[in-house]
Chain A
Amino acid sequence: MSSQRIPGWINYAVVPLANILMAFFVSALVFVYVGVDPIDAAKVMWEGAFGYSEGWGYTLYYATGFIFTGLAVSIAFHCQLFNIGGEGQAYFAGLGVALVSLYLGDVLPFWLMMPLLIIAAGLFGAGWAFIPAYLQAKRGSHIVITTIMFNFIAASIMAYFLVEVLKPPMSMAPESAVFPVSSWIPKMHDFLGAFGYEMTATPLNLTFIFGLICAVLVWFFLWNTRWGYEIRAQGFNPSAAKYAGIDPIKITLLTMAVSGMLAGFFALNTLSGDMHQLKLNYVAGFGFTGIAVSLMGRNHPVGIVLASILFGFLYQGGAELAFEFPGIDSKIIVVLQGLIILFSGALEYMFKPSIEKLYLKATGWRADKEEAQNA
């Protein structure tokens, strides 16, 4: 069975779709087991996530976060580096955003704050990824281990800053003061409202558009620039890349810095876009879920955007589920996510051979003809 006869859309559309459907089918069984009609549950989730403009807003808001963490994981993956530190990088970037917002927000106007915030988020995220990258490149410390450990270090540093430095006196919750208004990224409903489109107030903000731009830039960077080529070359075959004159140290550092920067942009969406204050643990697992998003999206920006929307749907729809069915624990959504990750990550290739066989059978006459021609 020659893989050349299998067109790309089988691999990039049909196989992931089959995996997701399988995950949904098994989830349906789980719902039946806990005594909820799966059709009803699916309806509630769909309605809650896409049925009305507020649902859309939340779905895309969550998706924005996943786009950044997903892109971060994918770019490292193209270099065969497994960046598990997205959580810590996004968390640490929040410190950069908070410091810039709190100390410069009153002084500088909005149009100057925006580029500064983007730079701060990117720099802090990239900086936090740079240390494990350096240790990997120069000392050979495995990036998986170091990035995991750096998540914990980031959590401790942030706890220190929140409790000792940024917490206003007499406040009890470990959170910073509210950022000055000039450092808020406009909400989508305000932005569209200015053009006459009405939309319910949701946390969705202009970072979503920045996220889409980042996805396009990542695509361009990876497949249309020299650095992108070098990253992919080193990912495919490190020794061949080195032989071809690609500096492995430079590429490792570069990849991880870009990866950390993308993870850092997560802070823009959540902090500057919605919360307007730095809170303890504000990343809330989005960095880790980014790994699943990247896996599902086949490490391609288009796939990652689609997978982000799917996970946004699961987050938002899952919250709705908890409202509509008081009996079921809202953590059921973690089960759903787990199944999707299981089928599209671990069991990624389960259906691939049979789908390919099916495709070849359906188009069998053409293959025969080709062979006849070749003969």
Chain B
Amino acid sequence: MKGIFKIAAVSVLTVSASLALAAPKFAPAVVYDQAGKNDKSFNEAVYRNGVLRFAADFGPVVAEFEPQSETQMEQGLRRLAQKGRSPIIAIGFTFGSAVEKVAKEFPDLQFAIIDMVVDLPNVQSIVFAEHQGSFLVGALAAMASETDKVGFIGGMDIPLIRKFACGYAQGAKYVNYEVEVFENMTGTTPAAWGNPTKGAELAQAQISKGADVIFAAAGGTGIGVYQAAADAGVYAIGVDSNQNYMQPGTMLTSMLKRVGVAAYDSWKEARDGTWKGGFKVMDLTNGGVDWALDDYNSSLITADMKSWVEEIKADIKSGEIVVHDYMSTNSCEM
């Protein structure tokens, strides 16, 4: 009886507290997917450009959790929520159902999910306009290609990766309608994100067919693609973070998808009290996606290429060029 009274008192307190403050206490957290935070790819981008940068600016306040199994994904989210962590950012589309369940249970806390839409008022769904970024690197690939044949190697065959492929092909055809685009997917399960051997084999196959620029949107599998391209002396294009440094001289550019920045921004908004739930698109306009130019590839990008791709970029921003999003129709329309 006493216990029930205590619980009632506490819940009254918390309800009144949440009414008074409106926003929950700022206590940010992140849940990685099962690949872990040091996966050299997607999760690591969040860790390096999000968590570490936030720690440098505001101190080490971000709680992290790396689940070891499917069950722990939801459990980890719930445990962080029970501790009053907010906003909690879930990395990757695999968290979709878990975020939906836990965010419903804790309507006073803030959640965010990357690469997935969860339609709840206290969830920020952060999606990226990968088709726009891929369009730019596709255009660059077609400009750099001498054989008029370019390649795309995807990781796991899912709509998200087909979105990359579709944007890339559109960009290449925009520059040169004659260009031929080879497309391969590494596999159909998450293992396809970490198979550099197969990545290299696919790249070699495309090179033997004449491709001289290959874009890999394949997580850790890409490492094999870049190596094979370097061995054959053809260009490769990196993905997600700036991978130009990995094979300097043959890395034409990288398609940037700033997941770390997105996580950082979400935490910062919560800190400043401007955090809002709902749909958030990271595109060319707000710098969520982009192409990479740095010391490692400046010698490969001629002034003409640069001005042309910047022109295309401006046209996409202004709406003059509309890049078709594969996921809007589940098909690639050129």
Please list the residues of chain A having a beta carbon within 8 angstroms of any beta carbon in chain B.
58, 61, 159, 162-164, 169-170, 172-174, 178, 203, 270, 274-275, 277, 279-282, 284-285, 319-320, 322-323, 326, 329-331, 333
Contact = CB atoms under 8 A, between A and B. Distances in A.
Interface in B44-81: 63-66, 68-72, 75-76, 79-80
Contacts of B159: 170, 172
B68 A319 contact: yes
B69 A284 contact: yes
Given A170-B159, A282-B70, A284-B70, A323 B188 contact: no
Nearest to A172: B158
Contacts of A285: 69
A330 B189 contact: no
B89 to A, nearest CB: 16
Contacts of A284: 68-71
Q: Residue among B76, B83, B160 with the most chain A CB within 10 A?
A: B76
Given A170-B330, A172-B158, A172-B160, A275 B70 contact: yes
Contacts of B190: 174, 280
Given A319-B75, A322-B65, A323-B79, A163 B189 contact: yes
Given A159-B188, A284-B69, A58 B75 contact: yes
B189 A203 contact: no
A274 B65 contact: no
A173 B193 CA distance: 13
A49 to B, nearest CB: 13
A326 B64 contact: yes
Contacts of A174: 188-190
A278 B70 CA distance: 11
Contacts of B68: 284, 319, 330-331, 333
Which applies to chain B's interface (DSSP): helix, strand, loop or mixed?
helix
B94 interface: yes
B94 A173 contact: yes
In the A-B complex, the 7 residue pairs with the closest CB atoms:
A172-B158, A284-B69, A163-B188, A159-B189, A172-B93, A173-B94, A279-B70
B121 interface: no
A178 B79 CA distance: 24
B249 interface: no
B225 to A, nearest CB: 22
Interface residues of B, number: 27
Contact of A173 (B63, B93, B330): B93
14 contacts: A58-B75, A163-B188, A170-B330, A172-B93, A172-B158, A172-B159, A173-B93, A174-B188, A270-B71, A279-B70, A284-B71, A319-B72, A330-B68, A331-B68
A174 B96 CA distance: 13
Contacts of A203: 71
Contacts of B71: 61, 203, 270, 274-275, 284
Interface of B: 63-66, 68-72, 75-76, 79-80, 83, 93-94, 96-97, 157-160, 188-190, 327, 330
Nearest to B188: A163
A58 B76 CA distance: 12
Contacts of A270: 71
A174 B63 CA distance: 28
A330 B94 contact: no
A178 B96 CA distance: 13
Contacts of B96: 173
A66 B97 CA distance: 25
Nearest to A173: B94
Contacts of A173: 93-94, 96, 158
Contacts of B160: 172
Nearest to A319: B72
Contacts of B64: 326
Contacts of A169: 330
A285 B72 CA distance: 14
Given A163-B189, A173-B96, 6 more contacts: A58-B75, A61-B71, A174-B189, A275-B71, A319-B76, A326-B64
Q: Residue among B69, B94, B330 with the most chain A CB within 10 A?
A: B69
A283 to B, nearest CB: 9
Q: Residue among B66, B189, B190 with the most chain A CB within 10 A?
A: B189
Nearest to A329: B66
A164 B157 CA distance: 11
Contact of B65 (A159, A162, A163, A323): A323
Contacts of A280: 189-190
Nearest to A203: B71
A274 B78 CA distance: 15
Contacts of B158: 172-173
A194 to B, nearest CB: 19
A270 B74 CA distance: 13
A274 B80 CA distance: 20
Nearest to B82: A54
Contacts of B327: 170
A330 B65 CA distance: 9
Nearest to B157: A163
A313 to B, nearest CB: 15
A304 to B, nearest CB: 21
Contacts of A61: 71
A14 B269 CA distance: 58
B158 to A, nearest CB: 4
A259 B75 CA distance: 30
Nearest to A282: B70
A319 B190 CA distance: 23
A275 B63 CA distance: 26
A203 B69 CA distance: 14
Q: Residue among B66, B70, B72, B80 with the most chain A CB within 10 A?
A: B70
